[in-house]
Amino acid sequence: VVLCTGAGTVPRRSTGTARGCRDCCLLPGRARETKTERLWRREGKMMMMRDVRIGAVVCLAVLVSSASAFYLPGVAPQDYQRDDIVFVKVNKLDSTKTQLPFEYYSLPYCRPNPIVSSAENLGEVLRGDRIDNSLYQLEMRLDEQCKVVCKVDALTTSQTRDFKAKIEDEYRVNMILDNLPVAMVKMREEDGVPIKTYERGFPVGFKAAIEEGGTEKFFLHNHVRFAILYHKDIETDLARIVGFECEPFSVKHEYEAPWDPVKPSLDTCNPGRMQYVTHGLAPQIVEDGEEIVFSYDVVFKMSDIKWASRWDTYLMMMDDQIHWFSIINSMMIVLFLSGMLALIMLRTLHRDISRYNQLETAEEAQEESGWKLVHGDVFRPPGAFGMLSVFVGTGFQLIGMTCVTMVFAVLGFLSPANRGGLMTAMLLLYVIMGTVNGYVSARLYKMFKGVDWKINTLKAAFIFPGVVFVVFCILNSFIWGQKSSGAVPFGTFFVLIFLWFGISVPLVFMGAYFGFKKEALEDPVRTNKIPRQIPEQPWYMHEIFAILIGGVLPFGAG
């Protein structure tokens, strides 16, 4: 017998168990709830919860549909009002011919005072980017012509030599406006439809012969016509920059002496007299003692391109930028090797099937061949199983880095708007994947019955990055000798060493710790105690030739 008591209840006896107390205890003024009523009440609660979930999903869908789409990397758009000052920054000079970047101010261009360098991430430094301020200043949605930047007095012999060397090596000038690189417009046709593509940067200059059959001379692009594309918000009248185009000119500017640096007046480009720069004017030659006047025009154009889509045109490649020969060469090598492997496999299978279909004699039945002959030796630990485990672990580390990088790139976190993001992400992911390296190498080393796990872990942490670091230092010394901006500064060297010794090495040891705590992998078949005698191989089967032949595929595909 259970006596139900409690605050707010009417005491009542129950002859059931304690569970029955819930049924017999009544609130004042309330009748006892039947089983059917309890079921209805429970069903009502479930329906109410379901309605709440459906409502939450609907609200989330409405919010998502009404949200604005921006880049995943977190690059926020910049809104400009009319007449806002927009600063143009300069980046490195680069060339597809030499692959050596140089700072913009390594040439005698117009320099601001002082030169202020923008903060750069690790990837930008390793790529050789050097972003500085410049004297190019634009007013938002204000067209200007014949704006003079500065006048460079008589060129010295070294300055002339530098200009000619950069023009000879086809170097291009890179500028940045609102995180967009400057680009030249190139039109191409696909199925009769013209498509606009971009070619980043503009050439420092060009070579040409003044007279037919004469000697080629060097000319400098000293005038640039900027075209700024912007997308305007109708309600707020704010604008966002969605394109940064340019057209370079070479013009020998003329002016009335003496030169006025505050309000310079040019005879070859004067908006008051309706004189503008065209390609028909006399070009600016690069010779000792030449005076060079740098100038620019700017035109603002309204565009229908949305801010989130402003990089689409930059990502369209020109036909001459696609390495068709390398692609076809790689495909031919892959098809040739695949066909050769398929023929070998078909021949082997056909021979084995024919042999099995024939009646075996007693001696042939006892004689083993093929995989039966080596099944007791294939899982025998190699002579240098420690190095094998290290290389396998390093391979897993590189594969993991590549896969995760591709995932982040597909999600948009490594968009070109985030300069240097790809290089930084690859480097950091390689460091983090040191745990995978240590774990895999430890598991494999333990499977081979290795006991000196500390030495093996040290090899996994130092062999591959050590070789890469030595090669990197040698190449960096040569780049430093060329005074290229691609040379890594000493501060970045210390950052790389910290990432290696401070993060990568401990992570490799942590992965190796968990790997050695796992049970050793067991071989599927028993290994013979006496190793099988391997016959002497011919000279062309030596490992050196195997290494050289194995490098043909990646070399041909490069």
For CA atoms 405, 409, 413, 417, the dihedral sign is positive
Residue 77 preceded by cis peptide, ω within 30: no
If residue 293 lies in a helix (H) or strand (E), which one and from where to where? strand 292-302
pLDDT tens string 401-426: 999 999 998 888 887 778 888 999 99
Given a cut of 70, the residues of the chain with pLDDT beneath it are 1-75, 317-325, 352, 355-375, 553-558
Output the pLDDT for position 364.
53
> CA distances (Å), 311 to each of 13, 182, 197, 241, in order?
79, 12, 11, 11
pLDDT tens string 215-247: 899 999 999 999 999 999 888 889 999 999 999
CA–CA distance, 117 with 485 (Å, rounded to integer): 13
The pairing of strands 216-220 and 205-209 is: antiparallel
Output the pLDDT for position 51.
52
Output the pLDDT for position 34.
55
Residue 246 per-residue DSSP state = E
CA–CA distance, 430 with 433 (Å, rounded to integer): 5
Query: Phi/psi of residue 263, each to 5°?
Result: -130, 75
DSSP letters spanning 335-353: HHHHHHHHHHHHHHHHHHH
Output the pLDDT for position 77.
87
Residue 524 per-residue DSSP state = S
pLDDT tens string 61-114: 444 444 434 344 446 789 999 999 999 999 999 998 988 999 999 999 999 999
Conformational region of residue 141, where left means phi above 0, alpha means psi within -120 to 50, and beta covers everything else: left
Output the pLDDT for position 41.
56
Query: 173 - beta bridge partners?
Result: 93, 202
Output the pLDDT for position 370.
58
If residue 491 lies in a helix (H) or strand (E), which one and from where to where? helix 490-497
CA–CA distance, 298 with 228 (Å, rounded to integer): 7
In terms of Cβ atoms closer than 10 Å to its own Cβ (0-12, 13-18, 19+), residue 333 is middle
Output the pLDDT for position 225.
96
Conformational region of residue 3, where left means phi above 0, alpha means psi within -120 to 50, and beta covers everything else: beta
Query: Phi/psi of residue 139, each to 5°?
Result: -105, 130
Output the pLDDT for position 258.
86
